[in-house]
């Protein structure tokens, strides 16, 4: 099993014989507050996978500096299931005893604001889920909180590397919710996004891509590669482009032993979860590349969830994301002192969780 000094506190397998819904919840640690983490709907979900994601949320929430613990859950089904509404409702009924006091769900793979509305309505309180529709007091991810946070982390990294943001060259993998808003906020600050990729390939333009025009092209033509005047490259070629900042923002393990030696960026800001394994990070850091880890850079979404949970506004959300992402990125860089930023970030997060646990039990933990 996977128990240690941190958790998990709750492992809950649920089943509904009428809808045949199978689900799992793992609440890893609640020392800092109720466990927060999304629900994903995938056919091959396992307890081990959910635990790994819950532990990642423990560290992310602790480092973000919000009063949430770590948790995650999953429903074992295809995201396109015709009975999705019934499955989500059945899942909500089963987790009712621990929501929202112990666990607060949010959107994840194949789960969006509509499903969060079902959960909140089934359990009977708006606090039962975050990422709800705006008319239910939600702060949907469509506001761009994660991309805003990634842009802020990038700004801090550039500042540390003494590279002016005005004219800094950026390559972004992925043009979904995170990638689009990251580009929007960076170009507003004067950065030059020279390359963007999606599933069809990479659009590269040395003079810089225009955000509004790229959004229009993506909407009308279905891919960034239709951008007028851009050189079309393979999606994978984005990682070897010469630029100041490389932002992997879509899939896991896109930078690996096979292509890491081609990376020419001076800074990597991890917008996606686990875009490379820790050992690859370590090798790139040894080459002098500054790498801002995923759970530092992409915490804007969970900070937004907290603001929604306490009934805050869109304006308050952006202010809190700005404050926390900026200060935490600076703190991690300072703690690392030129060393491994992921290790420094984990150290800070673990210290915060252990301190909260010791305060709660009025004891000293054996580790």
Please report the pLDDT score of residue 70 as a whole number: 98
Please report the pLDDT score of residue 1 as a whole number: 56
Q: How far is it, in rounded angstroms, from Cα 123 to Cα 129?
A: 9
What backbone torsions phi and psi does residue 209 show, to the nearest 5 degrees? -95, 140
Q: What angle do CA 1, 53, 239 make, to 5 degrees?
A: 125
Q: Which residues contact 195 (CB under 8 A, 6 or more apart)?
A: 171, 172, 202, 203, 204, 205, 209, 233, 238, 241, 243
Q: Which residues contact 9 (CB under 8 A, 6 or more apart)?
A: 27, 28, 29, 30, 35
Is the peptide bond preceding residue 8 cis, with omega within 30 degrees of 0? yes
Please report the pLDDT score of residue 109 as a whole number: 86
Helix ranges (DSSP H) in 96-225: 113-123, 145-160, 177-188, 211-221
Please report the pLDDT score of residue 142 as a whole number: 76
Q: How many CB atoms lie within 10 A of CB 239?
A: 25
Is the CB of residue 105 less than 8 Å from the CB of residue 99? yes
For residue 170, give the 3-state DSSP assignment: strand
pLDDT tens-digit profile, the chain (367 residues): 578 999 999 999 999 999 999 999 999 999 999 999 999 999 999 999 999 999 999 999 999 999 999 999 999 999 888 999 999 999 999 999 999 999 999 998 889 999 999 999 999 999 999 999 999 999 877 789 999 999 999 999 999 999 999 999 999 999 999 999 999 999 999 999 999 999 999 999 999 999 999 999 999 999 999 999 999 999 999 999 999 999 999 988 999 999 999 999 999 999 998 999 999 999 999 999 999 999 999 999 999 999 999 999 999 999 999 999 999 999 999 999 988 999 999 999 999 999 999 999 988 887 6
Helices vs. strands in the chain: H and E counts, helices first: 11, 13
Please report the pLDDT score of residue 284 as a whole number: 96
pTM for this model (two decimals): 0.92
The catalytic residue among 36, 72, 94, 127 is: 72
**CB half-sphere exposure, 114, CA atoms < 13 A:** 5
Q: Is 72 one of the annotated active-site residues of the chain?
A: yes
In 3D space, the residue among 270, 17, 12 whose CA is nearest the CA of residue 280 turns out to be 270
Pairing of strands 35-36, 169-173: unpaired
Domains and CATH numbers, the chain: 10-59+69-136 (3.40.50.10860), 145-300+330-346 (3.40.50.720)
Residue 54 CA: distances (Å) to CA of 30, 220, 250: 11, 38, 20
String of b and e for 86-104 (b: at least 16 CB within 10 Å)? Answer: bbbbbbbbbbeebbbebbb
3-state secondary structure 273-332: CCCCCHHHHHHHHHCCCEEECHHHHCCHHHHHHHHHHCCCCHHHHHHHHHHHHHHHHHHH
**CB half-sphere exposure, 223, CA atoms < 13 A:** 15
What backbone torsions phi and psi does residue 125 show, to the nearest 5 degrees? -150, 140
């Amino acid at each position: 099993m996977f128990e240690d000094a941190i958790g998990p506190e709750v492992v809950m397998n649920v089943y509904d014989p009428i809808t045949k819904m199978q689900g799992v919840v793992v609440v890893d640690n609640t020392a800092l507050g109720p466990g927060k983490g999304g629900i994903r709907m995938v056919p091959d979900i396992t307890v081990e996978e959910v635990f790994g994601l819950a532990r990642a949320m423990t560290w992310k929430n602790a480092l973000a500096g919000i009063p949430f613990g770590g948790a995650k859950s999953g429903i074992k089904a295809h995201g396109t299931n015709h009975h999705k509404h019934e499955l989500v409702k059945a899942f909500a009924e089963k987790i009712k005893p621990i929501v929202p006091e112990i666990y607060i769900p949010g959107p994840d793979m194949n789960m969006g604001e509509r499903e969060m509305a079902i959960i909140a309505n089934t359990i009977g309180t708006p606090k039962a889920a975050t990422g709800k529709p705006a008319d239910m007091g939600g702060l949907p991810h469509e506001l761009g909180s994660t991309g805003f946070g990634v842009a802020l982390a990038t700004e801090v990294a550039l500042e540390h590397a003494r590279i002016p943001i005005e004219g800094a060259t950026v390559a972004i993998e992925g043009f979904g919710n995170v990638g689009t808003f990251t580009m929007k906020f960076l170009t507003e600050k004067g950065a030059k996004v020279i390359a963007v990729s999606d599933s069809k390939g990479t659009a590269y333009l040395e003079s810089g891509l225009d955000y509004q025009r790229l959004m229009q092209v993506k909407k009308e033509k279905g891919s960034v590669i239709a951008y007028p005047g851009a050189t079309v490259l393979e999606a994978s070629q984005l990682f070897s482009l010469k630029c100041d900042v490389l932002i992997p923002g879509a899939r896991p393990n896109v930078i690996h032993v096979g292509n890491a030696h081609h990376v020419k960026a001076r800074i990597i800001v991890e917008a996606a979860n686990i875009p490379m394994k820790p050992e690859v990070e370590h090798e790139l850091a040894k080459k002098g590349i500054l790498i801002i880890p995923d759970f530092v850079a992409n915490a804007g979404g969970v900070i937004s969830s907290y603001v929604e949970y306490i009934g805050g506004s869109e304006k308050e959300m952006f202010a809190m994301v700005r404050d926390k992402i900026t200060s935490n990125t600076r703190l991690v860089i300072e703690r690392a002192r030129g060393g491994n930023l992921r290790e420094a970030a984990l150290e800070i997060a673990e210290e915060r969780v252990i301190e909260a646990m010791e305060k709660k039990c009025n004891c000293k933990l054996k580790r």
